[in-house]
Amino acid sequence: MLKSTLDRIVRSHRNVTSSCSISSISSICGVPKEKVDCVVIGAGVVGLALARELALKGREVLVLDSAPTFGTSTSSRNSEVIHAGIYYPTHSLKAKFCVRGRDLLYKYCSQHNIPHKQIGKLIVATRSSEIPKLHNLMHRGIQNGVDGLVMMEGSEAMRMEPELACLKALLSPLSGIVDTHSLMLSLVGEAENHGTTFSYNTAVIGGHIQQNHLCLHVSETKTLENWNGKFPLQPEMILIPKLVVNSAGLSAPALAKRFDGLRTEHIPPSHLARGCYFTLSNTTICPFRHLIYPIPEDGGLGVHVTLDLNGQVKFGPDVEWIDGVDDVSSFLNKRWSQV
Ligand SMILES: Cc1cc2nc3c(=O)[nH]c(=O)nc-3n(C[C@H](O)[C@H](O)[C@H](O)COP(=O)(O)OP(=O)(O)OC[C@H]3O[C@@H](n4cnc5c(N)ncnc54)[C@H](O)[C@@H]3O)c2cc1C
């Protein structure tokens, strides 16, 4: 099945003969190998945006995802907030990308009729000890190039949001919400229209570096379901792309560790936390009009109030630090898709 799918994808490319010059891969001699242009691992919002961009630039793109469809992991389990760019350290890439990405995202959503709304956000101080932190956030936001930030007295903020209790609030008018599924669907559509091929239920199980190329070991997801981690995994196919994007989300570092020959100093450590959202039920009237956030806490933005485009109110996520997940579930994203 995987072989026939990928054969179809790469039929324009000639088969590569197996050379097995690296001793560590001698056990995978005989596995079919194919040369391809670009492989994007993971069809979350990051992989989809990259696949679309590469396809628009005329590259041949193959997207592999171990799940049965796109966007089943973090990209469909988040607050769906378009962040203004306040929080990240000034001059960091995150700060620059967040501000530029916000503008590009609003533009993309408008041009492609993706449901979104610039509803604004209030970051609130509920204790006097938090007020200096709120001023620091405002200062950082201004340095990051976030326009329109306004510091408000609690009374003013509570007039805007009568269900709120706070001492001071920072209004960020550029923050908003987006329908992430529509966004991802649009990226998939554009990528496909420009020749990108999606292969779902297809897991990258590792790889090796040979002659300056990262060779990807690929298997059908279902053949891995009963794997207990006790014997080496055998790939069903090896892909040899000119360009690899590892956008496997939370699994990306664990997967990178399985690329034989990749220097470990290039692999960032994982710090994992689990979080839950709580839905406000038994009310038809939405009590808030803005997103409402506390002062950020260690490891997250704090339990915040988010509204979706249907007016549904969610509180969350809380943060529970976890030691880690075992290698098997982490690199196949099993744990996350079951949460
Ligand atoms: C609780 C929470 C709230 C958040 N809220 C916001 C927010 O409001 N606004 C915001 O901008 N960001 C938010 N984020 C961050 C945002 O959701 C993520 O940055 C983004 O979704 C990451 O997308 P991704 O494509 O990198 O990863 P993912 O969406 O996790 O996609 C990775 C994909 O890779 C696939 N995959 C994994 N391993 C393999 C493998 N070995 N082979 C093949 N495929 C594989 C998976 O099946 C998955 O589809 C939030 C994050 C969290 C956790």
Min mean pLDDT across 31-35, 38-42, 312-316, 326-330 is at: 326-330
- Look at residue 17 and tell me whether its pLDDT is greater than 50: no
pLDDT number for residue 238: 97
Residue 67 Cβ < 6 Å to ligand 1: yes
pLDDT digits (tens, 9 = 90+) for 279-310: 998 888 889 999 999 999 877 888 999 999 98
Sorted by sequence, the CB contacts under 8 Å of residue 2 that are 6+ apart come out as: 199, 202, 218, 219, 220, 236, 237
- Tell me what percent of the residues of the chain surpass a pLDDT of 70: 87
Q: How many CB atoms lie within 10 A of CB 58?
A: 9
What is d(CA 208, CA 215) in angstroms, rounded to the nearest whole number? 5
Sorted by sequence, the CB contacts under 8 Å of residue 332 that are 6+ apart come out as: 66, 203, 221, 224, 251
- Look at residue 332 and tell me whether its pLDDT is greater than 70: no
Whole-number Å distance, alpha carbon 200 to ligand 1 midpoint, is: 16
Whole-number Å distance, alpha carbon 262 to ligand 1 midpoint, is: 23
Reported as half-sphere exposure (CB side, CA atoms, 13 A), residue 293 has a value of 24
Whole-number Å distance, alpha carbon 252 to ligand 1 midpoint, is: 10
Ligand 1 atom with the smallest distance to the CA of 64 is 43
What is d(CA 334, CA 20) in angstroms, rounded to the nearest whole number? 31
Residue 87 Cβ < 6 Å to ligand 1: no
What is d(CA 181, CA 49) in angstroms, rounded to the nearest whole number? 13
- Look at residue 190 and tell me whether its pLDDT is greater than 50: yes
Phi, psi (degrees; rounded to nearest 5) at 337: -75, -15
Min mean pLDDT across 8-12, 48-52, 96-100, 268-272 is at: 8-12
**Whether 235 contacts 28, CB under 8 Å:** yes
Whole-number Å distance, alpha carbon 74 to ligand 1 midpoint, is: 3
Domains along the chain with CATH numbers: 2-16+27-75+182-270+326-338 (3.50.50.60), 118-175+273-321 (3.30.9.10)
Averaged over 170-185, what is the pLDDT? 98
Averaged over 80-109, what is the pLDDT? 97
Amino acid identity for residue 163 in this structure: E
- Tell me what percent of the residues of the chain surpass a pLDDT of 90: 74
3-state SS, residue 59:
coil
Averaged over 315-324, what is the pLDDT? 86
Residue 203 Cβ < 6 Å to ligand 1: yes
**pTM score, two decimals?**
0.91
- Look at residue 19 and tell me whether its pLDDT is greater than 60: no
Helix-then-strand count for the chain, H and E: 9, 19
pLDDT digits (tens, 9 = 90+) for 122-159: 999 999 999 999 999 999 999 999 999 999 999 999 99
